[in-house]
Structure 1
C-alpha cells in the first residue's frame, strides 16, 4: 500500500495476513481515522465497524457496539450469562458467524466487561475456543484521550473482576497474545515546538518551560473579530450552549429554522446536529460532515460564517476562500449489517437529513474529539476527567491559532496512572518482522482448523427440521472430532472425506429446493444461504483434497467465492420479476466494484438490486428514495441503472426508447 507509511504498512500486513488482535494507537492527528477509511476500502476480509457511542459510530461509518451485539447498557458480569446470543435470530447468528474482522473505533471509551462479552458471543457463535472465536479485532484509539464513562455504582459491581475500567483489563486480553502498533508521525500539527508540548501534556509531564510557552497563548478578555473563525472548546455542555445562544440572539436580522427529516432507526444520541437548527445571517457555524461531492468543498470541522439564507439553502463563507459554499440538506445513514450469501453487506437502518451545520461559537471538548481547527479558544480551567486537556489542545493545528480563555495549571492536566503504567508496559507489544512471520504461521494453523469447522452448517440447518439428517452424524460430528485432533498431514485425506459427503448433501438439497422455496420467502432465503455455504465449502474441500493446505490459496478461494454467481441457479428458482435485468445489474456491479476497488456489496447490495429490478424506478428521485440506495448513490449510479432499465423495457415491449427526464 504505497499511501501508507512504514508503521501503517506493518498494521495493514497484520490485518491482511494474520488474525492477531491489533491495538492501533497514536497521538492525536497521526492518521488513525484515515487508516480506518483505507482499511474499509482495501482489505478483502469480511468486516464490521463498531464504536462505543452513537456519534462515534456514525463518524466511523458503523454501528454502536450495543446495537450490533444487542447488549444491555448496564454492567456485564463475567460468567453471568453463558449464552447471551440465544435470543439472536438466525440472520444475526449467520452474520456474526461469517465475520472475519471486527474494527472497534474509540476503544479508549470501551469498558473491559463489554470486550469480554463480545469474546463470549463470538466464541459461542463460531463454535471455537479461540479468543473472539478466531475473529480478528482491530482496536483503534488513544488511551490518553477520553476514557470510559462508568458510574460508581456500576464500577462497584465490576471492580471484583477488573483492575481498571479500561479495555486492556478485560479477561480475554489478559490471556490473548496481541500487538500494539503506535503511529508516531503527526499530520495535524506542523510546528515541532507545539508537537513537543502536546507530547508532554499527553504524558502528564509538562516542563515549566513548555507550560510557560503554552500559557503565553492566554489573552485576557480576547474577542475575535468578525472575520475570524474561532471556536470555543469548553468542558461542559451547558457552557457551550449558553455561548452559542447568547451570540445568536445578539445578531440582528431574521432567525431561520431548518427541520431535520428522520426516518427508520436513528438513535438520538447520534444526531449530528440539531433537529431544529436555528441560524441567522452572520452565524458562526461548523460543518458536521465531509462533502461527498467531487468538489470536496467542506469537511467535518470546517468553520465559516453564514452569509445568506434563501429557502432551504444556506450560503457559508469560510475564511479567505474565494467563493461561498452553497449548502443544502444532506443525509447521514445509520448502518446495519446483514448477511447476503457469504458476504457481509451494509444496509441502511435509518437516516437523518439536515443542513450539515451547527452553531460553532462553542462546542464541548467531548464532541470535538476527532476534529481539527485552525483557530480555537480553549478553556480547560474546569477540566474534571482524564484526557480532557489533551483532547482540547490537540484539536488545534498550530500554537498560534490557539487562544486560552484562562491560564492552564498543572492541575488541569488530568491523567490516569493506570494508563501511564499500561503505556509503559505495552511498549513490549510493538511487533517486528520476526513476530509478524510467527503470527502468520499461527494464522495458517487457525485457517486449517476453520476449513474443517462446520459449526456454521449446524446453525444453518436449525431453520429446517429434518432436512439433510445424515449431515449431523456423518459430517458435523466427524468434523468436530477431527478438529480436536487436527494433524496437517492428514488434511488432504480429511478434505476428500468431507468433499464426498457435502456433494451428496448438495444433490439432496437441490432435489428439495422447489418445495422449500414455495414455502415462504423467508425459507427460500435461508435455503439460498445454505446452498451457497455448501457450494463454497465444496470448492475449498476440492482444492485441498489434491494439494497441501496454504494460507494464500485458502484466502484466494474464500474471496473468489464472494464474487461468483453460483447463486444464479437459485435465483432462477425464486426469480425476481425481471430476472434478466437483475443479472445485468449483478454484472454491472462487479465492474463498478473493480473500478472503485471496493467489495461489490459496497456499491449496492444484491437485495437492493433485486428490489430495483422489480420496481423499475424511472427517475433519479424515485431511485434515491428506495431503501439501500439514497441520494448519494442515486447520483453516482443512477444514470447507468436507469439506462439499463430503459433498454430492458425497450426490449421487452419491442418499442423505441422512451424519451424522458432522469429527474
Structure 2
C-alpha cells in the first residue's frame, strides 16, 4: 500500500493490514482521516475483504453492508457460549463467501455491542474450520470510543451484563483473550486552530479546564438569529427538535412547494435512506448536500450547506456562499452485497435509492451529523443525554469562530464513560512500533505455516467416507498434529520434507477415493456434492504440498499458492461427481442446439425462448428424433416449428451421431 501524506502513523496502520493478521483498532479524534484510511484500504488491499457497519446509514457511507445483514445476526442480545451454530442455516453461497474472507473491516466500531463481536467470532471459526479468533480472519476496527456508543436498552443489559463488564466491543470475550493493537491517528485535518483543537481534546477526554470552558462559552450568543444569507445549521440532541425547526422555517417561506419522489429499486433498507423519500422543497430553503459530487468538478460534498435559489422540473438550483450556482438533479445510492466470483469477493448491487441529494438543513441531530463537517453551526447540547454527544457536536465545526452556542455549556453537559477513559489509557500503553510490527509479521508467517499443515478441513469433510481410507488417522492426521507442534518457519529443509510426505499421502488418498466413491454414492446427489467438496479440498492441498516440497515458505508464496491451488481445484470439473449425475443426455449435442438457438434468435431479433426453450432443447438432445415427424412430436416443437427449424436441427442430430459412430451413415430422408 502507498504512503499517505508521509504520515508515519497511517503507514504503520497500512503495514499492519497488509503484512500481518493482527487485529487492528484504528482510532483517532474527529477529523483525523479514519474514513479516508478506510477507503484507501478498500482500494489498495490485496486481501479479500468485506466492509460492515452497525447501522444502515453507516454501511452505505462506508460502501459496505450492515453487520446484521452480512452475518444474518438477530438484532436482540446474543448470549455467548454453548454449542450453537448460527451459521447452520447459511446458504452454500454465503458459506463459500465467508470461507474466502481474509480481512473484515468494521466501521463505527464504537457502536458495536460485545455480544455481536463474539457472535462474529463464533461464525467465522465455524465457517473457516479454524480455532483461531475469528477463524484467522484479520479485523480492522475503525472508530472513536469518545463519540457515539452502543444503544442497549435496560432489559437487554439485564441479560448481557451477566457476561460483559461494559457494553463496548472491547469487553467481548474474544478480545479479552486475543492480543490486538490500537493505532491512534493524531493529525487533525478538520480543524486548523490550535486553541480549538486543544478544547476538543479536553472535551474528548472529559477534562476541560476552566480557561478552555470559558473560551468555549464565549461563543454563546443570547437569542442569536443568523441572517438569511448566512447558512448556519443547528445541531441538536433530539430528532423531534430538528424536525420542528426545519418544518417551521420551511413553512414561513413564500412560494410553491415542490415534491420530489425517490425511486427505490431492489433491496434498500429504510434505515439507510439518505434523505426523504418524498422530499419537499421551496425556493429560499436552506439545504445540505447528502452525497459527494462524483464528477470531475467536485462542486459539492456530503455536509455542504447552501440555499435553494430556484426549482425547475427535475432540477434544484443551489447557491453556496459566493460560489457559482449548482444545478442539482437526482443521484443514485447503491446498496451493495458481497458475492464470490472465481474465488474473489466482489460487490454486487442489491438495490438502489435515487433522489435529489439534498435535505432541509436549518437543523440536524448530533447523531446524524457524525462524519460531517460544517463551516457555521449553532450548537445546542443542553439536552445531552448520552456519552460522546457533546464531543461529536463540537467537533463537527471547522473553526471556533464558526460556532455559536445556543446555551452555555457546563461540565455536566460533557458526558463521558469511565470505562472508555480507562480503556483508552490502557490501550495507549500498547501502541505498536516498528519492532512490534516485525514481531507480528513473524507471527503471521508462523500462523500461515500452521495453516499449511492444518487438516481440520479434511477431518470435517470426511464424514461418510471414513471406511474408504482406513489409514487416514495414522498416516495423515496424527502425523500432522505432531508436526504442527514442532513447526519452525526457518527450518526450510524440514518443511519441504513434510510437504513432500503429505503430497504423497494425499495423492494416494485421492486415487483411492476416486476408485471407490462411485459405488458408495450411487445416484445420490447429496453424496456427490459431499464427494466433490472432499476431493476439491484434497486436490487443493496436494497442489500446495507439491509447491512447498520444492519452494521455500514465505507469507507471499503461501498466499499466492493457496489462492491458485483453490481456484484450480474448484475450476477442474473433469472428475466432478455432481456434474456426472447432473449431466444431460448427449450434453454436447444440447450445447450445440443452444448455440444454434442463440444465432436464430439474434437473426430473427427475438428472445431465445421464442425459438425453443432450454427444456425442449434438452428433450431433443435426449430423444435424438431422426425425422421431422418425430421432432414435431416433442413437446415444445409441434408441426410449425418442426417445419421452420426442423431441417437444421435434424442436420445437427445426424452430424452428432455420425461423430459418435464414426462409420459412414446412409443419407435417410428427413421425412
Work out the CA distance in 1 between the residues paired with 2:480 and 2:456. Answer: 8
Change (3 A) 1:91 1:541: same
What does residue 348 of structure 2 align with?
347
User: Over alpha carbons, which structure has the higher Rg?
Assistant: 2
Is the Cα–Cα contact under 8 Å of residues 453 and 479 in structure 1 kept in the other structure? Answer: no
How much has 1:469 moved relative to structure 2?
6.3
Change (3 A) 1:443 1:410: same
Is the Cα–Cα contact under 8 Å of residues 476 and 505 in structure 2 kept in the other structure? Answer: no
Provide TM-score, normalisation by structure 2. 0.78
Q: Report matched runs for 1:532-543 at 5 Å.
A: 537-543=541-547
How much has 1:316 moved relative to structure 2?
1.6
Change (3 A) 1:142 1:452: same
What does residue 630 of structure 1 align with?
none
What does residue 637 of structure 1 align with?
none
> Greater shift after overlay, 24-33 or 301-310?
301-310
Aligned residues: 575
Is the Cα–Cα contact under 8 Å of residues 468 and 512 in structure 2 kept in the other structure? Answer: no
Change (3 A) 1:277 1:470: farther
Is the Cα–Cα contact under 8 Å of residues 341 and 529 in structure 1 kept in the other structure? Answer: no
> Greater shift after overlay, 208-217 or 188-197?
208-217
Is the Cα–Cα contact under 8 Å of residues 148 and 388 in structure 2 kept in the other structure? Answer: yes
How much has 1:416 moved relative to structure 2?
0.6
Work out the CA distance in 1 between the residues paired with 2:436 and 2:247. Answer: 55
Q: Report matched runs for 1:527-566 at 5 Å.
A: 537-558=541-562
How much has 1:485 moved relative to structure 2?
3.7
What does residue 48 of structure 2 align with?
46
How much has 1:270 moved relative to structure 2?
1.0
Q: Report matched runs for 1:94-109 at 5 Å.
A: 94-109=96-111
Q: Report matched runs for 1:358-437 at 5 Å.
A: 358-437=359-438
Is the Cα–Cα contact under 8 Å of residues 9 and 183 in structure 2 kept in the other structure? Answer: yes
Work out the CA distance in 2 between the residues paired with 1:294 and 1:499. Answer: 54
Q: Report matched runs for 1:504-653 at 5 Å.
A: 537-558=541-562, 567=571
> Greater shift after overlay, 258-267 or 202-211?
258-267
Instruction: Give deviations 1:176-219, integer Å, cap 9, x for gaps.
Output: 11111111000000000100000011011111111111111111
Change (3 A) 1:529 1:220: farther
Is the Cα–Cα contact under 8 Å of residues 148 and 166 in structure 1 kept in the other structure? Answer: yes
> Greater shift after overlay, 177-186 or 289-298?
289-298
What does residue 332 of structure 1 align with?
333
Work out the CA distance in 2 between the residues paired with 1:103 and 1:472. Answer: 42
What does residue 289 of structure 1 align with?
291
What does residue 481 of structure 2 align with?
481
Work out the CA distance in 2 between the residues paired with 1:354 and 1:531. Answer: 50
Instruction: Give deviations 1:412-431, integer Å, cap 9, x for gaps.
Output: 11111111111111111201
How much has 1:128 moved relative to structure 2?
1.7
Provide TM-score, normalisation by structure 1. 0.79
Work out the CA distance in 1 between the residues paired with 2:471 and 2:188. Answer: 55
1:300 counterpart = 2:302: yes
How much has 1:507 moved relative to structure 2?
8.4
Work out the CA distance in 1 between the residues paired with 2:386 and 2:100. Answer: 39
Unmatched segments (≥5 aa) in structure 1: 513-518, 580-613, 619-663
Is the Cα–Cα contact under 8 Å of residues 44 and 559 in structure 1 kept in the other structure? Answer: no
What does residue 667 of structure 2 align with?
none
Is the Cα–Cα contact under 8 Å of residues 377 and 403 in structure 2 kept in the other structure? Answer: yes
How much has 1:543 moved relative to structure 2?
2.3
Local SS of the residue matching 2:429: helix
Unmatched segments (≥5 aa) in structure 2: 517-522, 592-600, 606-671
RMSD: 3.6
Q: Report matched runs for 1:138-149 at 5 Å.
A: 138-149=140-151
How much has 1:483 moved relative to structure 2?
6.8
What does residue 180 of structure 1 align with?
182
Instruction: Give deviations 1:420-468, integer Å, cap 9, x for gaps.
Output: 1111111112011111111111111100112233545677889xx8799
How much has 1:384 moved relative to structure 2?
0.5
What does residue 233 of structure 1 align with?
235
1:314 counterpart = 2:287: no
Work out the CA distance in 2 between the residues paired with 1:532 and 1:351. Answer: 37
Is the Cα–Cα contact under 8 Å of residues 389 and 413 in structure 1 kept in the other structure? Answer: yes
> Greater shift after overlay, 407-416 or 527-536?
527-536
How much has 1:108 moved relative to structure 2?
0.7
Work out the CA distance in 1 between the residues paired with 2:436 and 2:83. Answer: 36
Change (3 A) 1:355 1:206: same
Change (3 A) 1:259 1:504: farther
Work out the CA distance in 2 between the residues paired with 1:35 and 1:510. Answer: 49
Work out the CA distance in 1 between the residues paired with 2:169 and 2:328. Answer: 40
Q: Which of 48, 51, 70 is equivalent to 1:68?
A: 70
Change (3 A) 1:527 1:293: farther
How much has 1:38 moved relative to structure 2?
0.2
How much has 1:498 moved relative to structure 2?
3.8
Is the Cα–Cα contact under 8 Å of residues 197 and 210 in structure 1 kept in the other structure? Answer: yes
